[in-house]
């Protein structure tokens, strides 16, 4: 009598079929999807865009309407007034009609003939004479400028420093620090042990950096689009033409500058296992993110300092576009600065990946930097 033989079939264990590129994109999609599903992120982005558009529209309309003074004047005085857009003249027949318009608030002042006045004009106002109108009617001396091209550069240089500096700093902090928090949370909850059993640590790091870089760059493109719309609507096309090339260079520098900082944020987060311990590791990266902004603001008028900062990887995304806007950099300078930034990216990302890979599974106390580099 034969005994039936039971054959046990063992299911084949599926092998990991993800290529490194697929793994990077899978992690990047996870990072992007998590942000886009976050209401706080969407609301904060919408508020940022509205504020940017509102600020541009308000400044444009203010610039268009600032200095426009409504005055009443007799025909002979109106013919003597300078032809400027700042004065809107309503002709009157005599002083009585002019006084009535001023008293009713329909005009800010009235200009009447006066033989005793040095200018031959009497300015009639209700309570206070408009200073801008007094300045226009005053006799000014001949002015000669030794450097006429520098006229008005100070405020514009400061404004560009604020715009480029704030955008770079806020984007780096908004999308860089969550990388650190995500790494720390994954270590604290031990999820990281599951993740790196399926995806290599360097692939995981690359996906996190890529996903947040795409989000940051997308937000920059939205801000640029809003700025263009605002400048066109307010008729500031001259400023828009001047900002064209610097904006393009800012976008290019921003991408690689953010990659540099994002790798540092991820490496800093991997050194600790609790968010309470993240301060000492994140502080140096925060300084590197904020210092360029303040340096450009305080040293923006110093050509030597700006030239040096346009070649330093952490400040080049802010300093170089400003120098390009004012024509202070030759054609090869942004290319050389970009090469330096790319070389710095390779070095820093390589070191960051090594720190990240060697520190992910070290739980408990904060990992010392030299230990993370040694492996």
Per-residue pLDDT tens over the stretch 51-60: 888 878 887 6
Question: Quick one: 288 and 341 in the same domain?
Answer: yes
Give percent above pLDDT 70 in the chain. Answer: 86
* 268 domain residue, yes or no: yes
Is 44 a residue whose pLDDT tops 70?
yes
Count of domains observed in the chain = 2
Mean pLDDT over 27-42 rounds to 89
Q: Which residues lie closer than 8 Å to 344 by C-beta, 6 or more apart? A: 260, 313
* 4 domain residue, yes or no: no
pLDDT given for residue 9 in this prediction? 39
Q: Which residue has the higher pLDDT, 137 or 73?
A: 73
* 125 domain residue, yes or no: yes
Round to whole Å and give the CA distance between 53 and 156. 19
- Smallest CA-to-CA distance from 164 within 325, 375, 348, 350 is with 325
Question: Quick one: 326 and 290 in the same domain?
Answer: yes
Q: pTM of the predicted model, to two decimals?
A: 0.71
Q: Which residue has the higher pLDDT, 205 or 237?
A: 205
Question: Quick one: 33 and 159 in the same domain?
Answer: yes
Round to whole Å and give the CA distance between 75 and 94. 9
Question: Quick one: 30 and 112 in the same domain?
Answer: no
Question: Quick one: 283 and 352 in the same domain?
Answer: yes
Q: Which residues lie closer than 8 Å to 127 by C-beta, 6 or more apart? A: none
Question: Quick one: 214 and 102 in the same domain?
Answer: no
Tokens of 117: 């006045």
Question: Quick one: 258 and 322 in the same domain?
Answer: yes
Question: Quick one: 49 and 157 in the same domain?
Answer: yes
Tokens of 158: 């400061």
* 11 domain residue, yes or no: no
Question: Quick one: 116 and 240 in the same domain?
Answer: no
Give me the domain span that covers residue 99.
70-136
* 306 domain residue, yes or no: yes
């Amino acid at each position: 009598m034969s005994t039936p033989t039971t054959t046990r079939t063992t299911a084949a264990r599926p092998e990991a079929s993800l290529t490194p590129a697929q793994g990077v994109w899978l992690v990047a999609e996870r990072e992007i999807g998590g942000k886009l599903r976050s209401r706080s992120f969407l609301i904060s982005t919408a508020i940022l865009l509205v504020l940017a558009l509102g600020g541009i529209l308000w400044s444009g309309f203010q610039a268009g309407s600032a200095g426009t003074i409504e005055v009443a004047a007799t025909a002979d005085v109106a013919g003597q007034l300078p032809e400027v857009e700042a004065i809107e003249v309503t002709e009157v027949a005599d002083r009585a009609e002019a006084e009535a318009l001023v008293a009713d608030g329909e005009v800010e002042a009235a200009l009447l003939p006066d033989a005793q006045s040095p200018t031959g004009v009497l300015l009639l106002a209700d309570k206070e004479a408009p200073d801008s109108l007094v300045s226009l009617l005053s006799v000014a001396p001949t002015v000669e400028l030794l450097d006429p091209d520098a006229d008005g550069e100070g405020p514009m240089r400061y404004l560009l420093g604020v715009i480029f500096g704030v955008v770079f700093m806020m984007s780096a902090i908004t999308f860089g620090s969550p990388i650190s928090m995500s790494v720390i949370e994954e270590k604290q909850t031990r999820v990281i042990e599951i993740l790196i059993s399926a995806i290599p640590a360097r692939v995981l790091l690359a996906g996190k950096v890529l996903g947040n870089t795409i989000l940051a760059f997308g937000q920059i493109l939205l801000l640029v689009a809003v700025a263009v719309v605002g400048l066109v609507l307010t008729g500031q096309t001259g400023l828009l033409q001047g900002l064209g090339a610097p904006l393009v260079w800012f976008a290019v520098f921003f991408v690689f500058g953010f990659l540099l900082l994002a790798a540092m944020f991820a490496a800093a987060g991997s050194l600790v296992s609790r968010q309470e311990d993240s301060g000492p590791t994140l502080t140096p990266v925060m300084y590197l993110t904020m210092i360029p902004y303040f340096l450009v603001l305080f040293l923006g008028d110093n050509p030597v300092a700006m030239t040096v900062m346009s070649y330093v990887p952490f400040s080049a995304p802010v300093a170089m576009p400003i120098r390009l806007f004012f024509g202070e950099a030759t054609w090869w300078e942004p290319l050389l600065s970009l090469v330096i930034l790319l070389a710095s990216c390779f070095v820093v990302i390589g070191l960051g990946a090594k720190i990240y890979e060697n520190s992910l599974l070290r739980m408990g106390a904060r990992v010392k930097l030299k230990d993370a580099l040694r492996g």
